[in-house]
């Protein structure tokens, strides 16, 4: 197992524009714990951020139709949440659609570096997390969704999404379960 943590859309516009379900302080602490765990074990983290142009040229059809701007380049809302605490040397990739694979070099980068297990954390569970998980599955990656580190504003669609993904596409694990899994993997490697 060669894992990488993908932080997806941990940007100020998401809690700024949407009434998310989880209490913000608890959620951000979960994110800090997950990223800290990966950093302590020198496991890679790749930050995936949405960034749209103000001239609307990169906007989705829904954004244009509803005149709804989000994560516009150069705005406060496009900036990462402090809870992520991106460190020097951690790669960043930008996207304009829900899936982190659409229109990016993500698949090439992951394959180049030999990553086979993707841990997904971020916003929104029923949109970008779902689309990225399904696209990853179709590319034969093992997927873990960090249950404590995803959020959305839509409880109904989050439940449907997570029920489906956990049945067919991904393992849905808490931070503690992720820590236990990767500690066990590290111990097996040390014994071999």
CATH class given for the domain over 3-187: alpha beta
- Residue spans per domain, the chain: 3-187
Give this prediction's pTM: 0.94
| 128: annotated active-site residue | yes
Nearest-angstrom CA–CA distance, 32 and 26: 10
- Tens digits of per-residue pLDDT, 116-175? 999 999 999 999 999 999 999 999 999 999 999 999 999 999 999 999 999 999 999 999
Cβ–Cβ under 8 Å, residues 62 and 51: no
């Amino acid at each position: 197992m060669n894992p990488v943590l993908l932080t997806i859309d941990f940007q100020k516009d998401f809690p700024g524009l949407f009434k998310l379900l989880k209490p913000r302080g608890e959620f951000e602490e979960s994110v800090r714990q997950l990223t800290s765990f990966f950093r302590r074990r020198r496991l890679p983290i790749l930050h995936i951020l949405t960034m749209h142009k103000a001239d609307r040229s990169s906007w989705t059809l829904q954004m244009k139709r509803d005149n709804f701007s989000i994560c516009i380049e150069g705005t406060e809302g496009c900036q990462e949440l402090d809870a992520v605490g991106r460190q020097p040397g951690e790669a960043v990739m930008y996207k304009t659609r829900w899936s982190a694979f659409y229109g990016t070099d993500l698949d090439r980068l992951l394959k180049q570096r030999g990553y086979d297990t993707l841990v997904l954390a971020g916003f929104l569970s029923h949109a970008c997390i779902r689309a990225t998980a399904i696209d990853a599955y179709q590319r034969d990656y093992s997927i873990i969704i960090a249950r404590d580190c995803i959020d959305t504003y839509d409880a109904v669609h989050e439940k449907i999404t997570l029920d489906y993904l956990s049945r067919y596409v991904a393992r849905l694990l808490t931070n503690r379960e992720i820590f236990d899994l990767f500690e066990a993997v590290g111990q097996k490697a040390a014994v071999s």
